[in-house]
Chain A
């Protein structure tokens, strides 16, 4: 149960990067003129940034709170929660 949260990003990022590999591969192998290569570079850069962001945001999720069902019982405002976390 403790490892479950880590399995989720590994699975979807793996699926994503397999697809990303095929896009880059096709653009580099079959692309004619210079612009498919540039498109591949932009795609790769954006994919890396978004993947890292996605993973980082995933780690910010409090799964303990989700699994315990405290989330649904909570009626604190965002600001109150924010204050508690920062204190």
Chain B
């Protein structure tokens, strides 16, 4: 089976070390945002409903200016709520680098938790896709087992969990090979599959063409 080329990204994150490269940045699947966004959209329609129901009162008592002001101010705070949800979503992420796995979770403005796990501490990686919607949209749980029985890492609701597992396994293998060869073994496999992160979603780009692999390796060298 052809191996996976790990495409290094130029992305920076808080706490990134100089000698490590980002391979994957993962967020929960966008589908998990749908319920919250739907609620906000529902609230966005309320002023229209209110206007239809109370239009006669608003006109009768000349409350047009008051209502317009209330409407826009309401939308201002709805705008804030929408982006608060998006912010919390974007800051709940997992970063896979060439050295470690970083789990960041932001719950509120003043509650941030960051945990990390070195690749050489990982013993096993498994994934689980459970349920109708996760199966349909292909997202699920990636579980990383460490040497300690109680210490597990979970990537929850991440898209394409099988690919994520493959990337982490490939990183572990490369790390082991690099350790065995004393750090000189950068690209030991000439023909590989290519896996890149596209908007946080791992995308499998298949190529067994030596020229394509060389192209990707060139991109890796130039840090694209």
Which of A's residues lie within 8 Å of B, judged by CB?
12, 16, 19-20, 22-23, 26-27, 29-33, 35-36, 39, 43, 46-47, 50-51, 53-54, 57-58, 60-62, 65-66, 71-72, 74-78, 81
Contact = CB atoms under 8 A, between A and B. Distances in A.
Main secondary structure of the interface of A (DSSP, over half): helix
Contacts, number: 95
Closest CB pairs A-B (n = 6): A57-B69, A78-B59, A50-B76, A43-B83, A32-B13, A60-B65
A64 to B, nearest CB: 12
Contacts of A16: 76-77, 80
Contacts of A43: 79, 83
Size class of the contact patch on chain B: 35 or more
B157 interface: no
Contacts of A71: 61-63
Interface of B: 11-14, 22, 25, 59-66, 68-69, 72-73, 75-77, 79-80, 83-84, 86-87, 90-91, 93, 95, 104, 106, 109, 112, 199-200
